[in-house]
Amino acid sequence: MKQKKLKICHVITRMIVGGAQENTLLTVIGLIDKGHEITLVTGFTNGPEGKLLEQSELVKKYDIKVMEVPHLVRSINPIFDLLAFISLRNIFSLKAFDVVHTHSSKAGIIGRAAACAIGVPFIAHTIHGQAFHKYEKKWKNWLYIKLEHWAARRCHQIYAVSQAMITQCLNEYISIPDKYKVVYSGMELEPFLSSKPDEELRRKLEIPENVPIIGSIARLFPLKGYDYLISTAVKVLEKHPNAIFLIVGDGILKDKLQKQILDFGISSNFIFAGLIPPSEIYKYISIMDFLVHLSLREGLPRTVVQALASGKPAIGFDLDGTPEVIINNKTGYLIQPKDIDGVANAVIELIEKPELAVRMGKAGKKLVSKKFDWHEMVNILEKEYINGITKYLGWKKS
């Protein structure tokens, strides 16, 4: 099939400031650059996580076609879900897309069903993180697995941001191995690769010189591991009372977390920077000595990649896609989930051995510098679309 301009639709539940959303936005922008006609379909974006389409500097440079589907919501709602399916089916039918590519669990299930219903030539889905996991209710996991199995039969290809996501799907017999492929989540790495410590930002945050700065970048939401970070801080501060914990992100748990650190008497050791535009994140990482990322549910931790690209090692729990970027004892430390003592010991070691942190940071930069470049991600996906349309034109469910 001769390469031609494709009509491509990307579908995602929300365009908050988050990893899946940044991945989707960069894919859309990259495909526009390549001359394809792109439409982004999303539900409404509300809440403390911020609105990526308003905060991203890249959006200002491109005329992105965005369509909002009000009934495409994150929570399970049979009536809204049916209305979202009808809306998406109508959009896909009217626009006659060559490719529909869905992101996130809810948009993935409804979007794939709607695209299949009208026979879109190539239907793809990306797994950024699983809806089912061991910290979810059993009945919800059963439902999510059944729905993912059903939706997998209604698309041609499933991409995942880590091999761990594919393994989890195969373990649940959601689909066959040939349907899956790893496409690492692309990022705009250059600001991180070339970053230098931003002393002006450190002064603005009123952080004294020559104190350890331990960073964490994640939404202040359940399963992001902030309870474990605070418990870790209590242990670390017993030995290094001047250490600073710099928190980048916002969310519904902010008041609760601030009360916890107040009760522990360590408020002066915590700085909540709030919601930072994606284009400014590299400045905050530049003043960190290393990153601690204790999420209990992670497709592949985007902030860990960004820290490594900045030459900063990372500490995280040994789960999901995290071991694909935190190589234990090489780019940081992998700790068993919920092991507070293990995390605290790793933090203390990196504080006390700065030369080790530098060595790990260099190894991390080498690991991620090419693998996670967003242009490479776009190149892979464009090739997948073209090959997919060739292979599956007139496809049948399998």
321-370, pLDDT tens digit by residue? 999 999 999 999 999 999 999 999 999 999 999 999 999 999 999 999 98
Structure tokens at 13: 């539940």
Topology given in CATH for the domain delimited by 7-186+373-392: Rossmann fold (3.40.50)
Topology given in CATH for the domain delimited by 190-368: Rossmann fold (3.40.50)
DSSP for 16-31, written as a single string? BSSHHHHHHHHHHHHH
Helix (H) or strand (E) holding 257: helix 254-264
pLDDT computed for residue 201 by the predictor: 97
Sign of CA pseudo-dihedral 191, 306, 73, 160: positive
Dihedral, CA of residue 57, residue 60, residue 63 and residue 67, to nearest 10: 70
Confidence bin at 34 (pLDDT 50/70/90)? very high
Half-sphere exposure of residue 345: CA atoms within 13 angstroms, side-chain side = 8
pLDDT at 49 over 80: no
pLDDT in tens, 177-209: 999 999 999 999 999 999 999 999 999 999 999
pLDDT in tens, 246-271: 999 999 999 999 999 999 999 999 99
Helices 354-368 and 302-309 pack at an angle, to 10 degrees, of 110
Structure tokens at 134: 């061991």
User: Where, residue-wise, is CATH 3.40.50.2000 in the chain?
Assistant: 7-186+373-392, 190-368
pLDDT in tens, 136-182: 899 999 999 999 999 999 999 999 999 999 999 999 999 999 999 99
Rounded Cα distance, 270 and 233, in Å:
9
Report percent pLDDT > 90 for the chain.
85
Tell me what the pLDDT averaged over the chain comes to.
Answer: 93
Half-sphere exposure of residue 156: CA atoms within 13 angstroms, side-chain side = 24
